[in-house]
Structure 1
């Protein structure tokens, strides 16, 4: 949804969730860390339990590469067909590595000390913890100066791994999960080491931060509205 806020119009909302690793060592995985890089998932109140984060070893990474190569070969005829029909399509590209310690050796999507703001983000942003029908969106409202995260249930058919699309909101399922004054967000920044630059970080006034993802357009718009550039000291060494 990209409706501009104004007289009688709704604020802008975009789908958003915690990002997932794209490097073979952390593909489709994410961690939650304190300032000493300790795991904090068990300390987050009300969060459904998940197996602990683990970086893949050699054979695990090999399996990811084999799967990616196989998928690429299977998709190749579709890319060729799309090109022939005048609708060019190509695999999504990943940009330059920026932080090896946070993008290959680990993949934190929450970095926060005890009681810091990033820990208040809702667990529904984690696609591995919620129903595949649950959609989470960020709302950027100018009139009241708040940033909100909403959720709703979608009627679309499919599965966690393959969505058939065409869904609508289940009546009565929409709810506000989280809200924060815009003034508590100090910056937002696109992360180049993500597919089509769809990942971005949001940094809070207390120094905590989260790595989220949206569509490429959504990520650019969110960052533009929240402000670019990450203050010194907001990322781990």
Structure 2
């Protein structure tokens, strides 16, 4: 019996360091911004690394949120359901995780540039969900989207969680043989970020749930063909 491919929620990662929190950039091999060159992508304000006061604002906001959540954490712990705060792992690449936060690294015409813009949460409707499907080693990797029935807003939702009938769309396909590696990025909340590297040397940084990230990396690491060593990473 052939097992049906599993799907996992996925989107472009967002920075977690104060300088790049909730931001992401798209770069060529010389670290130039390539967003304006990505065909069909909705325009966004240019990426900026936060300065001192911007980073201070992030720290203040995070501290305020933690203080507001503290009573809930104490109550949950008293009821026997301890809540562990999200943890971020070791910094691996300062130039790509603090000084900048590229989620796409690709030269002209390279594979990473073909990823759909719907993976960017700042460009799509907050009700649009994107999922990755990993098939057998000699098959295809697909990215799907659908509209969720949840109620609320981008920052606060309640109820729903189903799929709007007829909203599912296939956004992207790629032969699995074009993917040469995938790895968890430790400098992310609960190690939920992962990098997918393509045969031409381009790569993308995506995020999922911690379990989803681990599963996708494990699946993309199975049965991959032997290839030439990838170019040194920026």
Fold shared, TM-score > 0.5 on shorter chain = yes
After superposition, the Cα gap between the structure-2 partners of 1:198 and 1:143, relative to the gap in structure 1 and judged at 3 Å, is: closer
Whole-Å separation in 1 of the counterparts to 2:140 and 2:213: 18
Deviation, structure 1 residue 105:
0.2
Q: Paired residue for 2:213?
A: 219
Per-residue CA distance 1:162-218 (angstroms, 9 max, x = gap):
222432111000011000000000000000000000000000000000000000000
Note if contact 1:140-1:147 (Cα within 8 Å) is conserved in structure 2: yes
Aligned to 2:37: 43
Number of residue equivalences:
229
Query: Per the alignment, do residues 116 and 53 of structure 1 end up closer, same or farther by CA in structure 2, a change over 3 Å counting?
Result: same
Q: Is the 1:190–1:198 contact (alpha carbons within 8 Å) kept by the matching residues of 2? A: yes
Moved more, 53-62 or 157-166: 157-166
Question: How far is 1:158 from its partner?
Answer: 1.6
Q: Is the 8 A contact 1:94 1:195 kept in 2?
A: yes
1:160 aligns to 2:158 (yes or no):
no
Stretches of structure 1 that go unaligned for 5 or more consecutive residues are 1-5
2:60 aligned residue: 66
Is it true that 1:174 corresponds to 2:172 in the alignment? Answer: no
Q: Return the TM-score normalized by structure 1.
A: 0.93
Contact 1:35 1:113 in 2 (8 A): yes
Aligned to 2:233: 235
Which of 13, 33, 37 is matched with 1:19 structurally?
A: 13
Unpaired segments ≥5 residues, structure 2: 223-228
TM alignment of 1:125-136, pairs within 5 A: 125-136=119-130
- 1:3 corresponds in structure 2 to none
Question: Shift of the alpha carbon at 1:161?
Answer: 1.1
Query: Secondary structure of the residue that 1:101 maps to in structure 2?
Result: helix
Distance in 2 of aligned mates of 1:202 and 1:10: 22
Q: TM-score, normalised by structure 2?
A: 0.95
Equivalent in the alignment of 2:83: 89
- Whole-angstrom distance in 1 between the partners of 2:127 and 2:232: 33
Distance in 2 of aligned mates of 1:165 and 1:227: 36
Aligned equivalent of 1:139, options 123, 133, 141 = 133
SS of residue paired to 2:158: coil
